[in-house]
Structure 1
Amino acid sequence: MKPPFRWLFWLYRLGREACPERSRGEPKRRSKIKAPHFMWGFLFLLMNHEVYILYSKTLNRYYIGSSSDIRVRMQFHATSPGYKFTGKAGDWEIFLKFFCENKKQVLAIENHIKTMKSKNYIENLKKYSEMIEKLKNRYSDR
């Protein structure tokens, strides 16, 4: 499943064209048309929520997390202070990541994986992709 980056760009441009003074950095004018504001609701719905699992060789540990922007989150983990869990090692690499439908599903799956508390379970998630599909079906809104 490819992330809908084209839709996000299209909605961003639509908001800027509807209210061009905002794109030039001019102060916000009071008007009855609030075209750019409707855009953020759509952007929130189209955000790519994903569950990720990091692995550190030095600690031989896994870290389970979720984010809508994995690049920003990885940068946070790389620069986190030493008293945080991911700050204890500098060699975190992405072990597994997968997209979900919405934030509610992401948080439910992340919580499920954390409550399992098993390295074998995490390694089996990577080995058997049908486990991920079963989790997505189990925690879907349908």
Structure 2
Amino acid sequence: MYYVYILYSRTRNRYYVGYTHDIATRLSKHNAGATPSTRSGRPWELVYSESYTEKGAAMAREREIKNKKCRIYIEQLIAKG
């Protein structure tokens, strides 16, 4: 199983979109500072996720969300989620 996830940083008031096969481990890595692009936003909290059986589908959905480049779209996903 693969997941598209959205994290939120209260520190930076920002969202981060990614995909993984293990959300708990990935969130731990983000919060440990192992990912340079999210290091400054710690702590991150998981606010949304979607599951997919195929890696390609999860990657495509992550790209779709990121290509929207719209905070409103992300916040609508979270509200519906």
Corresponding position of 2:68: 116
Q: Number of aligned pairs?
A: 81
**CA deviations over 1:79-106 (Å, ceiling 9, x no partner):** 125x812100222000101111210100
RMSD: 1.5
Q: Which amino acid aligns with 2:27?
A: M
Rg larger for: 1
After TM superposition, list the pairs within 5 Å mapping 1:1-142 onto structure 2. Answer: 48-80=1-33, 84-129=36-81
The answer to which structure, 1 or 2, has the higher relative contact order (CA under 8 A, 6+ apart) is 2
Q: Show structure 1 runs of 5+ residues with no match.
A: 1-47, 130-142
8 Å Cα contact 2:12-2:41 kept in structure 1:
yes
Q: Decide which structure has greater strand share.
A: 2
Q: TM-score, normalised to structure 2's length? A: 0.90
Fraction of identical pairs, as percent: 36
Per-residue displacement from partner, 1:45-72 (whole Å, max 9, x unpaired)? xxx1000000001101100000001111
Q: Note the residue ranges of structure 2 that are not aligned, 5 or more in a row.
A: none
| Distance across 2 between alignment mates of 1:128 and 1:76 | 27
What secondary structure is seen at the aligned counterpart in 1 of 2:27? helix
State TM-score, norm by structure 1. 0.53
- Larger helix fraction of residues: 1
Q: SS in structure 1 opposite 2:77? A: helix
